[in-house]
Amino acid sequence: MNVKLLTPAQDELDEAVAWYASQAPGLGDAFLAETLKTLELITQHPLAWHRLSLQTRRCRLRRFPYSVVYSPMVDEILVIAIAHQRREPAYWQERLQGSGGQA
């Protein structure tokens, strides 16, 4: 199954990796590795995590205060946000309008 990140989700991932890299050597790489591991788990078990709406789910990273907000599709996982858990909870919902998903 393919994973597709919306552009804002890719930007969030890049920004978080850069921020963690600036905090300590290797920490940005650790964040990226954990995010990739989480995406792999999602592709293996797309319906296993907390449902946020009819079309979206959330899987939390274990070591970092982030979640992957995604929509399982027939042939791909659409990543809507790499969301910090202390942000406004539904800030990413407007992204669904242009992606074909529903909140």
Task: Identify the pLDDT of residue 96.
Answer: 78
Q: Identify which of 71, 77, 86 has the alpha carbon closest to the alpha carbon of residue 39.
A: 77
Q: Could you tell me the domains of the chain? A: 2-85 (3.30.2310.20)
Structure tokens at 53: 């709406």
Residue 101 has pLDDT above 60, yes or no: no
Indicate the residue type of 56.
T
Q: List Cβ neighbours of 34 (8 Å cut-off, separation of 6 or more).
A: 61, 62, 63, 64
Structure tokens at 19: 């921020």
pTM: 0.89
Residue 76 has pLDDT above 60, yes or no: yes
Residues 5-22, mean pLDDT to the nearest whole number: 97
Residue 93 has pLDDT above 70, yes or no: yes
Task: Identify the pLDDT of residue 95.
Answer: 84
Residue 87 has pLDDT above 90, yes or no: no
The helix (run of H) or strand (run of E) holding residue 51 is strand 50-51
pLDDT band of residue 43 (cuts 50, 70, 90) is very high
